[in-house]
């Protein structure tokens, strides 16, 4: 295998720089919500020197009740312990390093789909700057993105089993594949959907050999595409028959541009939704499909990409985790799509350079604007809430850490609760049933094993049902030590309400000024015990 030329090396350096540039923090502190729960988990591991709650091996994969996948948090706690950096510093480094790993991993994967360097380069940039991925790699410890970052290597290894271009070395590939199959489920429960990828690989293998043995490969390619498009439509229609656990309803599609009911309206809204997830050049992925058929190409990578995308229409309407996998499937067609430009303009290299430069500028501008829009959209100045951690939260957390004994606290601001816990080492009531909080005795848990089918079909994230959570919840609720009140939420809207919290049974006969032990311009802390 030849070493890349100096110009290609410079291109890869530029690709890495652009990946980092778009992730240069535009917020003064870490972002997200779940991020801070994982920080608390990592700090618990550091504090105890062990994962004290992982008595069941499946806790590593978050399949035991009260647990979350441990791969990323275990890495975070290990690195911070060995280097001496703070967990909050690590989160930023984690985001940047993982972004680079994911970008170059996709560049490797694109080599199974295209021989053109520029196509692979631009496809990798599209992957790096896809809004769906960019948001979750912006200064946060995201389990979702951690898995997505390593997903290109998983698919690359699968495809490399069939690609003899550089020599198969099946034993080496199988060893690496075995390792990554063990690691990925420890990063996020999305890995439980990987059997769908393996099914796509089997389907691709069958179609690949059928097309390869056909007398007219180009015609066979068109027939293959027709079959897969039919499969897409059929699986999507099954959702409307309520045959899929992800059957569409008003909550499943995250954006609505077209009004009305019906299959075609939902498809149109889904198209807009994934255009936002993928980025402005989703049409280039469509060109990738057309180019594949036009050229009569039969690479196993094309077959896998199309099969994977076809099967994903059974779950395409989910808005929690599955859009990450579907977005990934769409991005696989970017390199073949750019091949369309490269092949049709191969006699005009200057035009190719100009077009790719313009597309790069447009992509960077769109991704930056989208990220800025998402950050600004979270601004709730009247409620003292931002996309990132506010100084008031850090100040309150420091006071809690220095002035209060370790305890459980509640809050009327659900998003801020985890942020305060991560900075103060207190236990958020929201996460008190998690085993990492140390408040639940595993011996006292009443658990019942469920079938694998029920876990998948009912969208459960554990292999056991936990039948006596109410007992623990009541006991923990009685031991809440204090409450953090966001003073900017004075309405009566349940957990987003200051008054509803203050008028809770623990506060019924208590004026605001009583038992208030801390306040700043945005937050107040009330003691809830001993009155």
- Could you read off the pLDDT of 407-416 as tens digits, one per residue? 899 888 888 8
d(CA 118, CA 357): 11
Tell me, yes or no, whether 370 lies in a domain.
yes
d(CA 481, CA 530): 9
Please state the domain count of the chain.
1
Place of tokens 């099954």: 238
**pLDDT tens by residue, 432-456:** 999 999 999 888 999 988 888 888 7
Band of pLDDT at residue 132, cut at 50, 70 and 90: confident
**pLDDT tens by residue, 22-76:** 998 888 899 988 899 999 999 999 988 889 888 888 889 998 999 999 999 999 9
Tell me, yes or no, whether 471 lies in a domain.
no
Longest dimension (CA), the chain: 86
pTM equals 0.88
DSSP state of 65: T
Tell me, yes or no, whether 179 lies in a domain.
yes
Tell me, yes or no, whether 40 lies in a domain.
no
For residue 283, the enclosing domain spans 6-30+86-377
Query: Given this model, what pLDDT does residue 295 score?
Result: 65
Tell me, yes or no, whether 207 lies in a domain.
yes
Query: Given this model, what pLDDT does residue 483 score?
Result: 85
Tell me, yes or no, whether 506 lies in a domain.
no
State yes or no: pLDDT of 262 exceeds 50.
Answer: yes
Band of pLDDT at residue 504, cut at 50, 70 and 90: low
Tally Cβ neighbours within 10 Å of residue 259: 7
**pLDDT tens by residue, 298-341:** 678 888 999 999 998 888 877 777 888 899 999 999 998 888 87
Tell me, yes or no, whether 259 lies in a domain.
yes
Backbone angles phi, psi at 352, to 5 degrees: -60, -45
State yes or no: pLDDT of 292 exceeds 80.
Answer: no
């Amino acid at each position: 295998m030849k070493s890349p030329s100096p110009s290609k090396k410079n291109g890869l350096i530029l690709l890495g720089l652009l990946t980092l540039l778009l992730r240069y923090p535009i917020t003064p502190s870490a972002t997200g919500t779940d991020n801070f729960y994982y920080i608390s988990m990592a700090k618990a591991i550091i504090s105890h020197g062990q994962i004290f709650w992982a008595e069941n091996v499946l806790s590593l994969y978050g399949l035991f009740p009260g647990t979350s996948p441990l791969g990323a948090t275990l890495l975070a706690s290990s690195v911070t312990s060995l280097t001496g950096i703070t967990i909050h510093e690590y989160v930023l480094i984690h985001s940047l390093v993982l972004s680079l790993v994911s970008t170059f991993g996709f560049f490797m994967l694109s080599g199974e789909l295209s021989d053109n360097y520029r196509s692979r380069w631009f496809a990798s940039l599209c992957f790096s700057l896809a809004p769906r991925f960019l948001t979750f790699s912006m200064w946060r410890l995201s389990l979702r993105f951690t898995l997505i970052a390593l997903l290109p290597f998983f698919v690359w290894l699968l495809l490399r089993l069939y690609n003899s271009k550089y020599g198969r070395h099946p034993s080496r590939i199988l060893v690496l594949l075995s390792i990554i199959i063990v690691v990925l489920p420890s990063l996020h429960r999305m890995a439980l959907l990987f059997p769908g990828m393996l099914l796509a690989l089997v389907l691709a293998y069958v179609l690949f050999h059928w097309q390869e043995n056909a007398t007219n490969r180009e015609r066979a390619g068109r027939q293959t595409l027709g079959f897969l498009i039919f499969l897409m439509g059929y699986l999507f229609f099954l959702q409307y028959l309520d045959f899929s656990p992800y059957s569409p309803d008003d909550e499943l599609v995250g954006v609505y541009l077209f009004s009305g009911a019906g299959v075609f309206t939902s498809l149109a809204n889904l198209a807009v939704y994934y255009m936002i997830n993928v980025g402005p050049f989703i049409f280039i992925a469509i060109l990738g499909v057309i180019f594949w058929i036009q050229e009569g190409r039969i690479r196993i990578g094309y077959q896998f990409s199309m099969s994977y995308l076809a099967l994903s229409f059974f779950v395409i309407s989910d808005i929690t985790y599955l859009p990450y996998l579907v977005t990934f499937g769409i991005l696989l067609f970017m390199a073949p799509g750019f091949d369309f430009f490269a092949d049709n303009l191969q006699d005009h290299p200057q035009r190719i350079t100009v077009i790719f430069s313009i597309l790069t500028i447009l992509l960077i501008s769109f991704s930056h604007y989208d990220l800025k829009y998402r950050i600004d959209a979270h601004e709730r100045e009247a409620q003292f809430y931002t996309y990132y951690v506010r100084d008031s939260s850090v100040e309150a957390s420091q006071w809690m850490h220095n002035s209060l004994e370790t305890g459980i606290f509640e809050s009327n601001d659900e998003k801020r609760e985890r942020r305060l816990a991560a900075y103060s080492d207190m236990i958020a009531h929201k996460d008190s049933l998690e085993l990492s909080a140390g408040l639940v005795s595993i011996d006292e848990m009443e658990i019942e094993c469920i079938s694998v089918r029920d876990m998948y079909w009912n969208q459960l994230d554990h292999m056991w049902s936990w039948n006596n959570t109410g007992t623990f919840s009541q006991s923990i609720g009685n031991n809440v030590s204090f409450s953090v009140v966001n003073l900017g939420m004075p309405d009566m809207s349940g957990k987003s309400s200051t008054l509803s919290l203050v008028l809770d049974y623990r506060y019924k006969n208590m004026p605001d000024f009583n038992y208030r032990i801390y306040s700043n311009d945005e937050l107040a802390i009330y003691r809830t015990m001993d009155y």
